[in-house]
Structure 1
Amino acid sequence: MAGAETQRAERGPGRPRQERVTDDTLDAVIELVTEKGVKAVTMDAVAARAGVSKPAIYRRWPSKQALIIAAAESRIGPLTVPDLGDIRAELREVLTARLTAYRLPGTARLLTELMTAAAEAGGPQVAYGDYTERIMSETRRILQRGIARGEVRPEVDIRSAATLVAAPLVYRLLAERELPNARFVDDLVDMVVRAVGP
């Protein structure tokens, strides 16, 4: 991955050291997972790939599980969508942002490996659950705003509806092995709005 190392060197000057260490470490995790899977992610391998010390990594992330979740969150993390006065526009904002992340090289394997690790005995179930709660929070807020505006039926279960929004993109990417596209996002917005609307 000489290209990735060159990229890191090129973007280094001008960035605070703390930010550089964090970004380079999380990039190294994503690269290792993409190339070899989650088993290749060791503190030694990440430190060597990122060009940082192991103590610097441990100061930020106490375990391999925390490091992998942080890497996933650097690519697919919490969003903020302003009140646009229209649930369709707000859902499209969320799904378009997710679409962009899902189409990046390595995202499918990163998500697959993260879910596998969380499902295994002794895996980071609690930490993974906390991560999914964070990334779903904005979708729940959008649906709650929709209820307040009369665009969503008040009896709709917000958690179930938020899952309905998020799951199809992941399923298309991981189960159907196909990159989702903008047409799929448009179709999904229409179906969700019909499902939860008055």
Structure 2
Amino acid sequence: MPDIEEAPRAPGRPRSLRVDEAIISATLDLLAEGTSVEVLSIEAIATRAGVGKATIYRRWAGKEALLHDALATLKSAGPEPTGESIRVDLVAMLSQVGPSNHDPRFAKIMPCIIPHLTRSEEHYQAYQDIIEPRRDRIRQVLRRGVEAGELRADLDVELAMTALIGPILVQRVLRWHPDLDADKMPEQIVDLLMGGMKPA
């Protein structure tokens, strides 16, 4: 790969987004190719990105900070609730759970990252920081349903959100059940659980 090292910056000059993207992409490529988090190094990332290690350290304090930002790019912002109905919004949001076309590397990286999250509180918290905005959108839809009377007043929103997301995430990341179609599951799961979430 040709060297894309940026020229020395004048004071106040913004850093190169092209270099940032090359570093992030190199990090994700190495993880997708099977490099474990423990083995992943700044030196390997710099070599793959065609930059010097100093260029990376000017942007990130270390591997942990870079890894956090790289993994964050794997998740798109997700759809905005349309407000058409609670069911429609939930199905649309659950359709974005797990690996998607946003970045095909996601499917290869996440199964390798998940065991690491159980061994590192820092990485677990970083993962929570990444997924919380998307999770909060689903939480808001459920709360809207409660306020509108579409969902039961005593609904445990956190438990309902977990029940909605969990099966789809397990199927898409681990392919837990070979006979289930993960693409059909968002609608199926919502319809299955809506009966228990609606007012009696």
TM-score, structure 2 as length reference: 0.76
How far did 1:131 drift? 2.6
Distance 2:86 2:94 in 1: 12
Which residue is equivalent to 2:24?
A: 26
2:196 pairs with 1:195? yes
Residue 182 of structure 1 aligns to a residue whose secondary structure is coil
2:36 pairs with 1:35? no
The CA RMSD over aligned residues, in Å, is 3.0
Q: Structure 1 residues 93 and 45, CA, compared in 2 at 3 Å: closer, same or farther?
A: same
Which residue is equivalent to 2:11?
A: none
Q: Structure 1 residues 67 and 182, CA, compared in 2 at 3 Å: closer, same or farther?
A: same
2:91 pairs with 1:101? no
How far did 1:126 drift? 2.6
Gap runs ≥5 in structure 1: 10-15
Which residue is equivalent to 1:159?
A: 158
Instruction: For residues 139-166 of structure 1, give each alpha carbon's deviation from its aligned partner in whole angstroms, at most 9, with x where no partner exists.
Output: 1111112212222212112211221222
Gap runs ≥5 in structure 2: 5-13
Instruction: For residues 67-120 of structure 1, give each alpha carbon's deviation from its aligned partner in whole angstroms, at most 9, with x where no partner exists.
Output: 223222211254351342311111122122335627953323321222222211
Residue 97 of structure 2 aligns to a residue whose secondary structure is helix
Structure (1 or 2) with the greater helix fraction: 1
Show the 5 A alignment for 1:137-148.
137-148=136-147
Whether the aligned pair in 2 keeps the contact of 1:76 and 1:98 (CA below 8 Å) is no
**Number of aligned positions between the proteins:** 186
How far did 1:27 drift? 1.9
Amino acid at match of 1:36: G
Distance 2:194 2:101 in 1: 22
Distance 1:48 1:127 in 2: 25
Q: Give aligned-pair identity as a percent.
A: 26
Distance 1:46 1:30 in 2: 9
Distance 1:135 1:37 in 2: 27
Whether the aligned pair in 2 keeps the contact of 1:78 and 1:135 (CA below 8 Å) is yes
Whether the aligned pair in 1 keeps the contact of 2:23 and 2:45 (CA below 8 Å) is yes
Q: Structure 1 residues 161 and 44, CA, compared in 2 at 3 Å: closer, same or farther?
A: same
Show the 5 A alignment for 1:106-125.
106-121=105-120, 123-125=122-124
Whether the aligned pair in 2 keeps the contact of 1:33 and 1:110 (CA below 8 Å) is yes
Distance 1:185 1:146 in 2: 18
Which residue is equivalent to 2:80?
A: 81
TM-score, structure 1 as length reference: 0.76
Distance 2:99 2:126 in 1: 24
Distance 2:20 2:196 in 1: 41
Amino acid at match of 1:147: V
